[in-house]
Chain A
């Protein structure tokens, strides 16, 4: 047995010993540990000092540690930020204390990254590789930009400070390699990421500026996750589940079926079940009528906008339909009288039920043209604010948001106050909740 293995085994044994010791203290509770208010006391060996440790145990220090750890990462008890936070907590300035933790690099590099990464992929995996979606939300948080721009802005964030457009197109538009490299080299994302105006995609076969940008909805990562194959309905479904925290089963409703596509079989099952989802979903699908995510030889695997499709499978695409992906015409003979998408005009029919009106609380136009309008509608709804609150809570508090409408409403009000929509403020508000870090 090598000496390193020996040491590891001894260390393992010692850790088992410590675990066993903790088990003896009634029950081992894997929870945030209390903090001794006086470090020196802990080095006193006699058991009689246990009472002293108890007497000097500091609630404000423990709270500072917990908030800091949840928002950033673990640091030593004597870290200057912890001392500063402890002082602020003792003055009753608990939000200010949380903002100290929200000013650290790791708040952006770890916490906001986890928050964003989970929304960037189909598997909802916070450990997903860095990509343009995640980087842009980190950027919005660090630059304290109105979070609604997450779904409407015409910018993106990268670590390329002075790259040529060719570099951008090769490493961001046609692949995820730029972001993967940032990950590989363990870059400090807070300081490395910079904002670039004008999103890019493959426009009719050539890399260029995207004419209808909608924040992270038009990121390569979001398109890669949801515009890849399928029928582009997934883009609607996931826009709702990621940014409004509402699954289709929650918002399906009886409404007009005039927008339902030609690929959906009609009949009794359609009337009783399918139409409830397809009715409202297919009416919004045209927002994504010009987008696709495909592998196309030299152009790479990329987000395409208004690509001209050739009649590869007798899809009868001509005229206005030429720039609408084949996937909109697939299986068109199943219900030939169904809706034929000819442009990117869409309509939101979800308000046909009172329950949905209460869920979403839409505040902007329920019909529009293209992606930016669609992103604007989502980001300006109350459900968007509620969703950001819930996602922040889950990221920081490691649990589902409690069934507490008053608390949700209060946090969403604060998020929206003064039209600030600040993610940093939101996370600070959430991290100081008793439901998150424990009460006094």
Chain B
């Protein structure tokens, strides 16, 4: 079941992609339309960089509004172990598969810290989720996704991205928005490459 899900997600994510992956300053080429075109043009003007190893944990805490003293010892220990997998210089050429895996691993830990924090204060990212003593209320997944992207991607999610995530919401969660669902959506959002891109 899980294997099928992952394979289908891979397939879905890559179908129709003919252009090669390129890391660096680039332009969109001709023929782009609408949102896609503006994105490409904006990127063409920008200088490339990725979040440095010294920045990654403060960046995640900062974008999530998580106070430094709410980062758990477990997350700090995890970061120590993963540190070398992130870029020391911020050069985009340092992007690697282990770096993306490390990002995912770290995301799970810091999301756990965020859930604990919101349990003890108020629900911000997880509005409507059943966490701690908060009861489940109506959850607008689009809003949750946009909250994470605006906070940690440096931009709002595109509508197609929101739809993609929503349409692949695991059946196991259905409309049960509990701590597992909170951990899932948070980890997924923080594991996106946009979190690393400056």
* Interface, chain A (partner B; CB < 8 A): 1, 3-4, 6-36, 38-39, 41-47, 49-51, 53-54, 57, 62, 65-66, 69-70, 73-78, 106, 109-110, 113-114, 125-127, 186, 188, 394, 397-399, 435-440
Residues of B within 8 A of A75 (CB): 62-63, 151
| Contacts A53-B38, A186-B68 given; does A16 touch B13 at CB 8 Å | yes
The residue from B24, B55, B89, B104 contacting A110, defined by CB atoms under 8 A apart: B55
What are 7 A-B interface contacts by the 8 Å CB criterion? A8-B108, A10-B5, A15-B193, A17-B10, A51-B34, A75-B151, A114-B54
- Asked if B161 and A11 make an inter-chain contact with CB atoms under 8 angstroms apart, the answer reads no
Residues of A within 8 A of B5 (CB): 10, 13
- Asked if B191 and A14 make an inter-chain contact with CB atoms under 8 angstroms apart, the answer reads yes
- Asked if A12 and B76 make an inter-chain contact with CB atoms under 8 angstroms apart, the answer reads no
Residues of A within 8 A of B162 (CB): 42-43, 45
| B135 interface residue per 8 A CB criterion | no
- Asked if B35 and A50 make an inter-chain contact with CB atoms under 8 angstroms apart, the answer reads yes
- Asked if A32 and B19 make an inter-chain contact with CB atoms under 8 angstroms apart, the answer reads no
A189 to chain B, nearest CB (A): 12
Residue of A with least CB distance to B157 = A42
At the interface, is chain B mostly helix, strand, loop or mixed?
A: helix
Residues of A within 8 A of B195 (CB): 74
- In whole angstroms, what is the CA distance A1 to B16 when docked? 33
- In whole angstroms, what is the CA distance A253 to B81 when docked? 46
The residue from A8, A57, A109, A399 contacting B104, defined by CB atoms under 8 A apart: A8
Residues of B within 8 A of A32 (CB): 43, 46-49, 154, 197-198
Q: Mark B137-164, 1 if CB is under 8 A from A, else 0.
A: 0000011001001111111111111111
- In whole angstroms, what is the CA distance A110 to B152 when docked? 18
| B22 interface residue per 8 A CB criterion | yes
Residues of A within 8 A of B24 (CB): 29-31
Residues of B within 8 A of A76 (CB): 63, 65, 150-152
A121 to chain B, nearest CB (A): 12
At the interface, is chain A mostly helix, strand, loop or mixed?
A: helix
Residues of B within 8 A of A399 (CB): 47, 91
- Asked if B13 and A34 make an inter-chain contact with CB atoms under 8 angstroms apart, the answer reads no
Q: A11-B191, A69-B154 are in contact. List 4 more A-B contacts (CB 8 A).
A: A7-B183, A39-B156, A106-B55, A106-B62
- Asked if A31 and B92 make an inter-chain contact with CB atoms under 8 angstroms apart, the answer reads yes
Residue of A with least CB distance to B153 = A33
- In whole angstroms, what is the CA distance A65 to B9 when docked? 31
| B122 interface residue per 8 A CB criterion | no
Residues of B within 8 A of A6 (CB): 2
- In whole angstroms, what is the CA distance A337 to B162 when docked? 78
* Pairs A-B, 4 closest by C-beta atoms: A20-B13, A42-B156, A50-B35, A34-B42
- Asked if B54 and A127 make an inter-chain contact with CB atoms under 8 angstroms apart, the answer reads yes
- In whole angstroms, what is the CA distance A23 to B36 when docked? 12
Residue of A with least CB distance to B48 = A31
B103 to chain A, nearest CB (A): 8
| Contacts A8-B105, A70-B49, A106-B62 given; does A54 touch B35 at CB 8 Å | yes
Residues of A within 8 A of B19 (CB): 23, 26-27
The residue from A31, A57, A188 contacting B25, defined by CB atoms under 8 A apart: A31
- In whole angstroms, what is the CA distance A74 to B56 when docked? 9
Residues of A within 8 A of B188 (CB): 10-11, 14-15
Residue of B with least CB distance to A28 = B21
Interface residue ranges of B87-127 to A (CB < 8 Å) = 88-92, 95, 100-101, 104-105, 107-108
The residue from B16, B76, B88, B108 contacting A4, defined by CB atoms under 8 A apart: B108
- In whole angstroms, what is the CA distance A46 to B83 when docked? 40
The residue from B50, B55, B59, B164 contacting A18, defined by CB atoms under 8 A apart: B164
- In whole angstroms, what is the CA distance A36 to B42 when docked? 11
Residues of B within 8 A of A106 (CB): 55, 58, 62
- Asked if B193 and A31 make an inter-chain contact with CB atoms under 8 angstroms apart, the answer reads no
- In whole angstroms, what is the CA distance A15 to B122 when docked? 27
B159 to chain A, nearest CB (A): 5
- In whole angstroms, what is the CA distance A430 to B43 when docked? 20
- In whole angstroms, what is the CA distance A125 to B180 when docked? 39
- Asked if B154 and A398 make an inter-chain contact with CB atoms under 8 angstroms apart, the answer reads no
The residue from B6, B47, B191 contacting A31, defined by CB atoms under 8 A apart: B47
- Asked if B10 and A20 make an inter-chain contact with CB atoms under 8 angstroms apart, the answer reads yes
Residue of A with least CB distance to B165 = A14
Residue of B with least CB distance to A128 = B88
Residues of A within 8 A of B36 (CB): 25-26, 50
| Contacts A75-B63, A113-B54, A125-B88 given; does A41 touch B197 at CB 8 Å | no
A174 to chain B, nearest CB (A): 25
- In whole angstroms, what is the CA distance A33 to B42 when docked? 8
Residues of B within 8 A of A70 (CB): 49, 198
Most chain B CB atoms below 10 A, which of A18, A20, A39, A437: A18
A27 to chain B, nearest CB (A): 5
- In whole angstroms, what is the CA distance A14 to B185 when docked? 9
- In whole angstroms, what is the CA distance A114 to B55 when docked? 10
- In whole angstroms, what is the CA distance A186 to B149 when docked? 27
Most chain A CB atoms below 10 A, which of B6, B20, B91: B6
The residue from A15, A31, A66 contacting B192, defined by CB atoms under 8 A apart: A15
- In whole angstroms, what is the CA distance A76 to B189 when docked? 14
| Contacts A27-B19, A29-B23, A397-B47 given; does A15 touch B104 at CB 8 Å | yes
- In whole angstroms, what is the CA distance A246 to B37 when docked? 43
- Asked if B142 and A33 make an inter-chain contact with CB atoms under 8 angstroms apart, the answer reads no
- Asked if B62 and A74 make an inter-chain contact with CB atoms under 8 angstroms apart, the answer reads yes
The residue from A18, A44, A127, A188 contacting B68, defined by CB atoms under 8 A apart: A188
The residue from A110, A114, A438 contacting B47, defined by CB atoms under 8 A apart: A438
